[in-house]
């Protein structure tokens, strides 16, 4: 019966199993050959004593090149010195596809490689257990997110990624040719998820790509990212912040339950964060930064260096709330008693922004005024604005960068580590 290496245990001792995978290593001791077979769950030692196995097979196994794909059928034997305490004495050793040599990249962790070199040969890089583990955990996170929202009555939707307008500022747009017209890749499902509130969906979730023409090459920016977006009717910013902190806690719980082995491969320990997260106001954050000698103009976004100063005092997850209205997009709701400040929040992990959200303006005329005030033209928002005229409930929502979350939870030094085939200023292949 075909199994993964990690599925073999004492119950299989003396029995026959079939394994498929890659040749990780061959050790030739003359009268004895060890082939380490690797599959997506781990390793198994295939032991070929010259005297005890078929001669032709012995010759084949001894010569097989590293990273060739093989199928092995054999008997499981207890062996203390082998990985996981067993070895396999093969009856069949079939080379399904021989790998060329030399390899463009080493799979064994013995030779360290630069991230760029690794990304160039990503298919091989992804064979490394440490790298595989990141994507197994990313999968578990996505599962947890869907479980969490499904139980709370959310409807998962898919909105268009080819669009006619910007939502998060015009400079970061990727233009494309849409037959005879100009169109753009969507920066955020913002306008659509709000429109679905007018459609009466009440609670929506979207997990999908967002595109930002960020010029800067940083460890936390991608040109194509995955965003987890929610929008909820009949609630305010506080209501959706609660969903956010409960979700983040739930994700940590689920991956520590489900991904023990993969966390071990990466060498990461998960601490379940306590909720509620601290709410630090923008004004308090500015005070901290100024207190440490860095200038901040009230009303502006906080720079990376400013956020690093804040993070000296606030580690782990915390919110920065009540941002100046002018620093946030047009759709954010200003506070009734102080319209200079908006009902907005960013979820931080140390200095890294993980998510941002707001209570939205649901009043048509107020929204049009804010669009003008931000130097935009209401004509570009025709379909969106129409939805506010015929029964738009009060609502709030947020967007969280999945790639940033993976980076934070697994303590990765670069966002690209957690993305299969990252897109940045330099990289369009693979």
Provide the binding-site residues for ligand AMO, judged by CB under 6 A.
Answer: 168, 188, 190, 212, 214, 221-222, 225, 227, 229, 353-358, 397-401, 403-404
Catalytic residue among 7, 106, 214, 294: 214
CB 320 within 8 A of CB 345: yes
Least distance between ligand AMO and beta carbon 192 (Å) = 11
Q: For this structure, is 220 an active site residue?
A: yes
Q: For this structure, is 146 an active site residue?
A: no
Which strands form 181-185's sheet, in the order they lie side by side? 162-163, 181-185, 174-178
Least distance between ligand AMO and beta carbon 296 (Å) = 19
Residues sharing a CB contact under 8 Å with residue 32, sequence separation 6 or more, in sequence order:
47, 48, 49, 50
Judging by DSSP bridges, how do beta strands 16-28 and 174-178 pair with one another? unpaired
Catalytic residue among 221, 258, 369, 427: 221
Residues sharing a CB contact under 8 Å with residue 98, sequence separation 6 or more, in sequence order:
64, 65, 68
Closer to ligand AMO by Cβ: residue 5 or 187: 187
CB 354 within 8 A of CB 347: yes
Closer to ligand AMO by Cβ: residue 221 or 427: 221
Least distance between ligand AMO and beta carbon 341 (Å) = 16
Q: For this structure, is 214 an active site residue?
A: yes
Q: Which of 176, 183, 182, 207 shows the shortest CA–CA distance to 193?
A: 207
Q: For this structure, is 87 an active site residue?
A: no
CB 184 within 8 A of CB 374: no
Least distance between ligand AMO and beta carbon 125 (Å) = 20
CB 272 within 8 A of CB 251: no
- E strands, 50-122, are 69-78, 86-97
Closer to ligand AMO by Cβ: residue 52 or 162: 162
SS3 209: strand
Catalytic residue among 68, 188, 227, 356: 356
SS3 188: coil
Catalytic residue among 24, 38, 138, 212: 212
Least distance between ligand AMO and beta carbon 227 (Å) = 5
- Taking CB positions, which residue lies at the least distance from ligand AMO? 401
Half-sphere exposure of 43 (CA within 13 A, CB side): 19
SS3 335: coil
Least distance between ligand AMO and beta carbon 163 (Å) = 13
Closer to ligand AMO by Cβ: residue 5 or 235: 235
Cα separation, 304 vs 283, whole angstroms: 17
Q: For this structure, is 349 an active site residue?
A: no
Closer to ligand AMO by Cβ: residue 238 or 264: 238
Catalytic residue among 128, 220, 349, 362: 220
Closer to ligand AMO by Cβ: residue 21 or 397: 397
Question: Which active-site residues does the annotation give?
Answer: 212, 214, 220-221, 353, 356, 404
């Amino acid at each position: 019966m075909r199994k993964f290496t990690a599925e073999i245990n004492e119950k299989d001792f003396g029995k026959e199993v079939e394994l498929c995978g890659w040749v990780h290593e061959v050790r030739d001791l003359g009268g004895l050959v060890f082939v380490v077979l690797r599959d997506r769950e781990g390793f198994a030692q295939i032991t070929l004593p010259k005297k005890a196995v078929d001669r032709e097979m012995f010759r084949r196994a001894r010569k097989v090149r590293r990273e060739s794909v093989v199928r092995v059928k054999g008997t499981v034997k207890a062996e203390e010195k082998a990985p996981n305490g067993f070895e396999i004495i093969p009856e069949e050793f079939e080379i399904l596809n021989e790998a060329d040599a030399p390899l463009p990249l080493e799979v064994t962790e013995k030779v360290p490689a630069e991230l760029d070199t690794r990304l160039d040969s990503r298919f091989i890089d992804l064979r490394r257990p440490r790298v595989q583990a990141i994507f197994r955990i990313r999968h578990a996170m996505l599962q947890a997110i869907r479980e969490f929202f499904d139980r709370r009555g959310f409807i998962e939707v898919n909105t268009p990624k080819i669009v006619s307008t910007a939502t998060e500022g015009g400079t970061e747009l990727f233009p494309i040719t849409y037959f005879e017209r100009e169109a753009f890749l969507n920066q955020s499902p913002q306008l659509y998820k709000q429109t679905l509130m007018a459609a009466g969906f009440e609670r929506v979730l979207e997990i999908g790509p967002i595109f930002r023409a960020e010029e800067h090459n940083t460890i936390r920016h991608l040109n194509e990212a995955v965003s987890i977006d929610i929008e909820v009717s009949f609630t305010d910013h506080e209501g959706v912040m609660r969903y956010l902190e409960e979700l983040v806690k739930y994700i940590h719980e689920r991956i520590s339950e489900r991904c023990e082995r993969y966390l071990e491969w990466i060498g990461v320990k998960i601490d379940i964060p306590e909720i509620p997260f601290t709410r630090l106001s923008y004004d308090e954050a500015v005070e901290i930064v100024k207190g440490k000698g860095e200038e901040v103009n009230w009303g502006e976004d906080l720079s990376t260096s400013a956020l690093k100063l804040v993070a000296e005092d606030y580690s782990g997850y915390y919110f920065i709330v009540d941002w100046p209205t002018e620093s946030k997009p047009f759709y954010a709701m200003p506070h009734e008693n102080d319209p200079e400040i908006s009902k907005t929040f960013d979820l931080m992990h140390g200095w890294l922004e993980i998510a941002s959200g707001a209570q939205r303006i649901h009043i048509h005329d107020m929204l049009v005024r804010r669009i003008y005030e931000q130097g935009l033209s209401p004509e570009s928002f025709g379909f969106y604005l129409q939805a506010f005229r015929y029964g738009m409930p009060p609502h709030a929502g947020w967007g969280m960068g999945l790639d940033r979350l993976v980076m934070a939870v697994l303590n990765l030094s670069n966002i690209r580590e957690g993305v299969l085939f990252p897109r940045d200023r330099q990289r369009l292949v693979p």
